Amino acid sequence: MALRQEVAILGAGPAAIATACALRRLGHDVLLIGVSRNTAVEGVSQRTLRLLREHGLAAAADSVGDPGERVGSWAGIDVAGNGEYVVQRAEFDRALLADAAAIGVRICAERVVRYERRGALWRVHTKRNYVDCQVAVDARGRRAQRSPRRGPALIAVCQRLCTPRTGRVFTRLEAIPQGWCWLAADGRGMSWLQITSGREPSLRLGLEEHMRRLVAMAPHVAADLSGAIATGAPIARAATPSLCTQPDQVGVIRAGDASIALDPLSGQGMYEALRSVVAVTGAVRGYLSGSWDPIAKFMAERAAELWQQSSLKAAHHYGQQAQQNPSPFWSEAAARYCAIQPAPPIAGGVSIDWRPVLNGARIELRRVVVTPQSPRGVWQVDAIDLPELLDFLRAARVTNVECAARHFGCPPAATARAMQWLSEHGLLEPAGPAGSTGPHGPSAGRFD
């Protein structure tokens, strides 16, 4: 028998479950459809852990153990970063589902086969049933998107291993001519090795031989794995970074890797998936109460902006390694990232225009200040509406901070920072000493 839902979330990973929980807390009727079969091990940063708690995913956050060391070598230099948590995805995903069930998210533990438009609704098919919904949030990961906007072609080969119980929790990154190795150890006798490379000829010899060959080029990883015994067969999976450019489908909103799959070198996939929850939630609520076009524009522009930012960072890191080791892999990958960078923005003036923005938990059209540096526009600074502030100051013909602060019911310091932002972009004469912004500068509210 078919079900009828307001919102169907497709997937069972962090992006899907965090979005489902956020919408349920806002009173929406939500059905989560998906099965997690992820047996990988991942590194989780402190800011990712903080986002889990901010989204109310307490069980998932509690399933994360103690932080470990983060070590590695890059571009010929030994590096150490902030602590990184080693997370067993199978345990973590079960905790995520417990968080969802605890707040009343209905869960259909079936894999999505396809979805299609049926009149004003979307019909989501599983192997056993189908569900009709007003909005479908596709958060099924990389396999849910096909796109010509792609970075270098990457393959990740992973292996779980039994290692001596050292009590040392750590992750290690080590570059090799053909790519890089990432090793995670939980200190309790389990390690996870992931080798990311291009389409190496050694892959044709078998995954085990491929991994042995490349580990031999990573002396630090090889030393860490001394005496380790592989458990189970190695797993190969696509790891090519990509941006979804599929045509807009009214009422379908993409989240997580289904929208933009980052380069695994960044280590920011889970963080960005969780960070997108506010925007995805706003898109769902905006569509349910308004028109589709602003939603589609907002989400497409947000994904494109993140794609460009992440590609620029990747070009830098790949370029560093290519200078140190100009092997075909690093040189070609760095060139690929450089090739997808956009042309520099054309210098232009500052204008006021209507653009979709994220206002609380809803996407809606608002007037924004468009600048060459911020083509998507800037709506607020320190929670003060910039176009409204500019309208008031021009109508009142004043640049007095106290007067504007009283009018908007805002702290004078925040008002001064907003006025300074307008002045710096040529829309307002400097406010003088009374409009000093203090030592911290403005907090600009762009979109997310």
370 neighbors 355 (Cβ within 8 angstroms): yes
Question: Tell me, what's the pLDDT at 396?
Answer: 83
Measured CA to CA in angstroms, residue 160 lies from 13, 76, 320, 402 at distances of 21, 27, 30, 63
Q: What rounded mean pLDDT belongs to the chain?
A: 88
CA atoms within 13 A on the CB side of 167: 0
Band of pLDDT at residue 447, cut at 50, 70 and 90 = very low
% the chain with pLDDT above 90: 61
**CB count, 10 Å around CB of 139?**
31
Res. 66: pLDDT tops 90: no
Instruction: Assess whether pLDDT exceeds 60 at residue 248.
Output: yes
Q: Are 392 and 384 in contact (CB under 8 A)?
A: no
- The answer as to whether 337 is a domain residue is no
Q: Do 109 and 257 reside in the same domain of the chain?
A: yes
Dist CA 291 CA 182 (whole Å):
45
CB 234 within 8 A of CB 205: no
Sheet holding 149-150, edge to edge: 149-150, 242-243, 260-261
| Confidence band of 147 (pLDDT split at 50, 70, 90) | confident
- For 203, list phi and psi in degrees, rounded to 5: -60, -30
User: What was the pLDDT predicted at 443?
Assistant: 41
Domain identity same for 233 and 246: no
Point out the domain boundary residue: 207, 238, 269. Answer: 238
Q: What confidence score (pLDDT) does residue 168 get?
A: 86
Q: Is residue 323 part of a domain?
A: no
E-strand spans in 89-140? 106-108, 112-118, 121-126, 130-138
- Of the pLDDT bands very low, low, confident and very high (cuts 50, 70, 90), residue 67 is confident
Q: What is the CA radius of gyration of the chain?
A: 24
Nearest in space to 446 (alpha carbons), one of 367, 380, 386: 380
Are residues 221 and 188 both part of a single domain? yes
Other Cβ atoms within 10 Å of 372 Cβ, number = 13
Within-domain flag for 72: no
pLDDT of residue 435: 39
46 & 162 share domain: no
CATH number of residue 202's parent domain: 3.30.9.100
Residue 404 lies in a domain: yes
pLDDT category at 2 given cuts 50, 70, 90 is low
The verdict on 32 and 139 lying in the same domain is: yes
Do the domain assignments include residue 324?
no
* pLDDT single digits (tens) 253-295: 999 999 999 999 988 899 999 999 999 999 999 999 888 999 9
Say if residue 290 is in the same domain as residue 370: no
Q: How far apart are CA 436 and CA 439, in angstroms?
A: 9
Q: How far apart are CA 149 and CA 249, in angstroms?
A: 18
Contact criterion met (CB below 8 Å) for 385 and 373: no
Q: Measured between alpha carbons, how far is 249 from 46 in angstroms, rounded to an integer?
A: 36
Check residue 152 and give its pLDDT: 94
- Residue with the larger pLDDT of the pair 164 and 318: 318
Q: In the prediction, which pLDDT does 430 show? A: 58
Reported as a single tens digit per residue, the pLDDT across 397-416 is 777 888 889 988 999 999 99
- Decide if 340 is inside a domain: no
User: Where in the sequence is the domain holding 431, given as residue range(s)?
Assistant: 351-445
pLDDT band at 346 (very low <50, low <70, confident <90, very high): low
Same domain, 141 and 182: no
Same domain, 228 and 250: no
Same domain, 99 and 186: no
Say yes or no to pLDDT of 3 above 60. Answer: yes
Q: What are phi and psi of 80, to 5 degrees?
A: -140, 135
Percent of the residues in the chain that have a pLDDT greater than 70, as a whole number: 93
Q: Which two tokens stand for residue 220?
A: 């630090």
Number of domains making up the chain: 3
Return d(Cα 328, Cα 224) in angstroms, integer: 27
Written as six digits, the tokens of 339 are: 């090739």
Do the Cβ atoms of 192 and 158 come closer than 8 Å?
yes
Cα end-to-end span (Å), the chain? 39
Give 171-229 pLDDT, tens digit per residue: 999 999 999 999 999 888 899 999 999 988 888 889 999 999 999 999 999 999 998 99
The residue ranking higher by pLDDT, 143 or 174, is 174
Strand partners, 369: 352, 378
pTM, entire model? 0.86
Which of 296, 208, 183, 207 has the alpha carbon at shortest distance from 250?
296
- Confidence grade of residue 5 (pLDDT, cut at 50, 70, 90): confident
Within a domain: residue 309? no
Per-residue confidence band for 82, with pLDDT thresholds at 50, 70 and 90: confident
CATH number where 44 lies: 3.50.50.60
pLDDT, residue 345, reads 59
The more confidently predicted of residues 12 and 434 is: 12
> What pLDDT score was predicted for residue 444?
42
Mean pLDDT of 381-400: 88
- Evaluate if residue 434 carries a pLDDT over 50: no
**Residue 448 confidence (pLDDT):** 45
Tokens found for residue 92: 């973590």
Whether 127 and 246 share a structural domain:
yes
Dist CA 59 CA 142 (whole Å):
26
What is the pLDDT, as a whole number, of residue 35? Answer: 92
How confident is the model at residue 333, as a pLDDT? Answer: 95
Residues whose CB is less than 8 angstroms from the CB of residue 8 and which lie 6 or more positions away in sequence, other chains included? 30, 31, 33, 122, 124, 131, 133, 135, 136, 137
Question: Do 199 and 133 lie in a common domain?
Answer: no
Same domain, 14 and 36: yes
Residues in the chain: 448
Which residue has 């308004």 as its token pair?
A: 290
- DSSP one-letter code for 65: -
Instruction: Say how far residue 297 (Cα) sits from the centre of its chain.
Output: 18
> What is the distance, to the nearest Å, from the Cα of residue 389 to the centroid of all Cα atoms in its chain?
33
Residue 51 lies in a domain: yes
The two beta strands, 229-238 and 155-162, are: antiparallel
> Where is the domain boundary, 284, 301, 318?
301
What average pLDDT does this structure show over 156-169?
Answer: 89
